[in-house]
Amino acid sequence: AQSVTQLGSHVSVSEGALVLLRCNYSSSVPPYLFWYVQYPNQGLQLLLKYTSAATLVKGINGFEAEFKKSETSFHLTKPSAHMSDAAEYFCAVSRSGGSYIPTFGRGTSLIVHP
């Protein structure tokens, strides 16, 4: 079985500060990992994904995430927060081959203060 844990339902940062959103996963097979962002009243949009290539993955809007197998983590970072980054962020895991169930974390709400 696979699962995703996002630490912190809310993260608050000042504009210009580092953004760090935490995600830990469990999977019995090498995982595919994703970060999605959801703006109010909109569907989810892919930020980036890990598919067993480079462990440091760069995504849209200046976000990146590092896959650390030893820590079973896939934390999302951005060097400098913008007001427009305020949204809900979801980490998700899936696995390769045959039938699989994409599993999402509970989400982390990013609040950006001026």
Partner 1 sequence: EAGVAQSPRYKIIEKRQSVAFWCNPISGHATLYWYQQILGQGPKLLIQFQNNGVVDDSQLPKDRFSAERLKGVDSTLKIQPAKLEDSAVYLCASATGLAGGAYEQYFGPGTRLTVT
The region that residue 9 occupies, defined by phi over 0 for left and psi between -120 and 50 for alpha, beta otherwise, is: alpha
Does 46 engage in binding with partner 1 (CB under 8 A)? yes
Residue type, 76: L
Does 24 engage in binding with partner 1 (CB under 8 A)? no
Does 14 engage in binding with partner 1 (CB under 8 A)? no
Between 15 and 109, CB nearer to partner 1 = 109
- Smallest separation, CB 81 to partner 1 (Å): 22
Candidates 21, 105, 110, 112; binder of partner 1 (CB under 8 A) is 105
Between 43 and 114, CB nearer to partner 1 = 43
Does 73 engage in binding with partner 1 (CB under 8 A)? no
Interface residues with partner 1 (CB under 8 A) are 4, 9, 32, 36, 41-46, 49, 51, 90, 92, 94-107
